[in-house]
Amino acid sequence: MDALLTPVWDVVFAPFADYAFMRRALVATLALSLSAAPLGVFLTLRRMSLLGDALSHAVLPGVAIGFMVSGLSLTAMALGGVVAGLMVAAFAGLVSRFTTLKEDASLAAIYLVALALGVTLISGHGTQLDLLHILFGSALGVDREGLLLVAGVSSASVLVLAAMYRGLVLETFDPVFLNAHHKRHGSACSKLLSPWVWHQAFLMLVVVNLVAGFQTLGTLMAVGLMMLPAVSARLWHDTLPAQLMNASTQAAVAGTAGLLLSYHFDTPSGPTIIGCAGVLYFLSLLFAPGGWLPRSWTTRHRVA
């Protein structure tokens, strides 16, 4: 019994039992898996998979201003990031509403402007200080403050997501119906708010989650944990609740496995975790019901 348990304990549990920084990294990663991965599923369904990437650049001016105003304060930098992210998302939404541009096009335009602004701000105030490194977090540098931020944001967004689930699903899959319904009943109908409201509320959730992730775990970790498991989850299930569960689970598995691999094989933690999510993605591409092998199998049968 002992001969079996000891190696398992050493490999899987001891790193977390021995080191507080490993526990904090794990808790932050799991919290982000719980809230960000489901949001990622909605993003892929809405064909906005690249939003996270765009936002990771778009928040830069806000974070930089936060840093300039009050130094290395997590609150100020996170607040700046959220404000910048929301402004960019809202601006892109407004452009798509009032002009002929689609939302992704206007987002691409505005995030580049924001990135340019951010880089200018930083270089005007100390290029040589390794600011880009400092402005965002890293998986092993999670402190108490960062942990509270991620856990708080995660708890709040899971609750908000549950509350707005029906409206959001309707707006994602059948915006035409929602729009028509809204027009017919007007704003007097409180049950179905305008699609615009759902969309903006959803974007706010995404921004808040991403910024919390950027500040505590870094941009690669935040975007990676949000998008990669979400994309692979779509290959496994047809129903939305199953996809949401799958995405969260994959993110949690990748986070735990990545931290352990980084511990045992001496590799940088953030990239290792995202690498694990990538491996899960390639496995899903091959073996999931929506992936290559099962599909080629069934089509061959049909031809024959």
Which residues of the chain form contacts with other proteins (CB under 8 A)?
Answer: 15, 18-22, 25, 68, 72, 123, 125-130, 133-134, 137-138, 140-143, 259, 262-272
What's the closest the beta carbon of residue 269 comes to other proteins, in angstroms?
5
Our CB check for other proteins shows the closer of 15 and 229 to be 15
Nearest distance in Å: CB 18, other proteins: 7
Distance in angstroms between the alpha carbons of the first and the last residue of the chain: 52
Residue 82 neighbours by CB under 8 Å, 6+ apart: 59, 62, 207, 208, 211
Query: What's the rounded Cα separation, in Å, for the pair 6 and 291?
Result: 38
- Please report, for residues 100, 171, 225, 232, 287, the alpha-carbon distance to residue 253 in angstroms, rounded to integers and kept in the order given: 42, 30, 11, 13, 18
Q: Which is nearer to other proteins, 106 or 262 (CB)?
A: 262
Q: Which residue has the tokens 């404000």?
A: 83
For residue 68, CA distances in Å to 56, 62, 130, 289 come to 19, 10, 14, 50
| 146 vs 167, beta carbon nearer other proteins | 146
Q: Which one, 267 or 299, has the nearer CB to other proteins?
A: 267
Q: How far is the CB of 127 from other proteins (least distance, A)?
A: 6
Q: How far is the CB of 28 from other proteins (least distance, A)?
A: 12
Q: Which one, 116 or 189, has the nearer CB to other proteins?
A: 116
Q: What is the DSSP letter of 140?
A: G
**CB neighbours of 279 closer than 8 A, spacing ≥ 6?**
none
With respect to other proteins, which residue has the nearer C-beta, 195 or 255?
255
Residue type, 4: L
Work out how close the CB of 113 gets to other proteins at its nearest, in angstroms, rounded to a whole number.
21
- If the CB atoms of residues 64 and 247 are measured against other proteins, the closer one turns out to be 64
Query: 205 in helix, strand or coil?
Result: helix
Select from 208, 209, 225 the least CA-distant residue to 26.
225
In angstroms, give the least distance from the CB of 48 to other proteins.
Answer: 29
Report, in Å, the least distance between residue 128 CB and other proteins. Answer: 3
Q: Closest Cα to residue 258, out of 245, 268, 243, 248?
A: 268
